[in-house]
Amino acid sequence: MTSAAGPEDAGDRRNVSDAVGVAVLGACAVWSLITATVHGGRPEGVLLAILAVAAGYAAGRICGALLPVAAPCAAALAGLALTVAVPHLAPGPEIVAPLGHAGAMAAVLILSAGSACCAAWAASTPPLRLALRGLAAGIAVTAAALGSTTGFVLCVAVLLCSLAAGRMHRRGLGIAGLALVTVLVTGLPWAVAGNAVPGGFAAYLEGQLTRHRIELWHDALRMVREDAALGVGPGRFGELSTTATQTLLSDGKPHSAPLQQAAEQGVVGVLLLAVVFCWVLHALWRTPRSTPVALTAGAALTALAAIAAVGNALSFTAVSVGAGLLAGLATARPLTDEPPQRTWDSRPRGDRLTP
């Protein structure tokens, strides 16, 4: 799908978007090195995560162009197999209550469900679409069977959002809605850490997230206040957090991606993380793929952001690769035309799916 300006202009805009993405990821890597140099931190984890996202995104762009249906289907099956075969996804202390290793498992299942739904929208025949949506539903059931209530709820939410995306005439409104949801869910840990939520709601959250996690968030916010510009350095939260040092089985993380970024890399680190997500949403808005594919991928990545806001899912390489892969699949330019999306609307595709 191209804009009225023509395919060459659309290609130029995509090249600019790709260049911006490279620049933003590069800035994230450089900033982690700067903060590590100043405070003696360990930037290897951040650099590995950036590399994993970039590799996944590149692989998704290539595979999505060559195999727009088979590639996301294979990604969904791979994610499902990974969570069943390797339920903890990584060695280390098993922090399962409520969103440690369990959160990473839920994140992979959510990305798998999103991939299956993207494959369904790219499929050319109704039976294949039905089968792929059945795969997404099966992934949600698997999450429930593995005891991941969060994974089950968010997988179902991604599936429902994917079905609703077929009614969207323009994707811009949907992308804006996903951005708003992301702002709200990522702002929650900040509000809790700053004691800015009502007492009754705070007590409910403490019961769901555990007092230990809330104390970690308090420690992270204290570090932000002590050095908002540079943070304490990548990988140093565990050694400077009173709560983490008093815990026998601690992974040294505050279990909130935005708070960890702020505590370890300062306000600039948080802004860079936000810019990366905004770049992904912009790429989905400008993608030549159909609107249902773009919004389905956006819904899955928004669900991942919700988990990352209150857990350590982004600390797992499999999650970072999966996020980049799904974004790449949804922004690839297929070598063959996608089938018309007439599930909910009989109007021509070009009238209905223009961003």
Q: Is the pLDDT of residue 6 over 60?
A: no
Q: Which residue has the higher pLDDT, 322 or 4?
A: 322
pLDDT tens readout for residues 255-272 = 999 999 999 999 999 999
Closest by Cα among 226, 215, 232, 200 to 38:
232
The tokens for 68 are 């727009």
Looking at the whole model, is its pTM more than 0.75? yes
pLDDT at 249: 65
91 pLDDT above the threshold of 60: no
Amino acid present at 197: V
Q: What percent of the chain has pLDDT over 70?
A: 85
- Choice among 37-46, 54-63, 95-104 with the minimum mean pLDDT: 95-104
**Is the predicted pLDDT of residue 46 greater than 70, yes or no?**
yes
pLDDT value for 329: 96
- SS3 of 91, please? coil
- Model confidence band, residue 341 (pLDDT cutoffs 50, 70, 90): low
Residue 84 — pLDDT band, cuts 50, 70, 90? confident
Residue 234: the pLDDT is 93
pLDDT in tens, 283-329: 999 999 999 999 999 999 999 999 999 988 898 999 999 999 999 99
Identify the residue with better confidence: 210 or 68: 68
Residue with the larger pLDDT of the pair 181 and 341: 181
Distances in Å between the Cα of 331 and the Cα atoms of 57, 254, 295 are: 9, 32, 11
CA distances to 81, 177, 224, 241, 261 from 235, in Å: 30, 33, 14, 11, 10
Q: Are 168 and 291 in contact (CB under 8 A)?
A: yes
Mean pLDDT computed over 334-353: 52
**Residue 59 DSSP SS3:** helix
Mean pLDDT within 237-254: 81
pLDDT over threshold 50, residue 119: yes
> What's the confidence (pLDDT) of residue 293?
96
Specify whether the CB–CB gap between 140 and 152 falls below 8 A.
yes
What is the pLDDT at residue 348? 39
pLDDT band at 245; cut points 50, 70, 90: confident
pLDDT score for 349? 40
d(CA 355, CA 339): 18
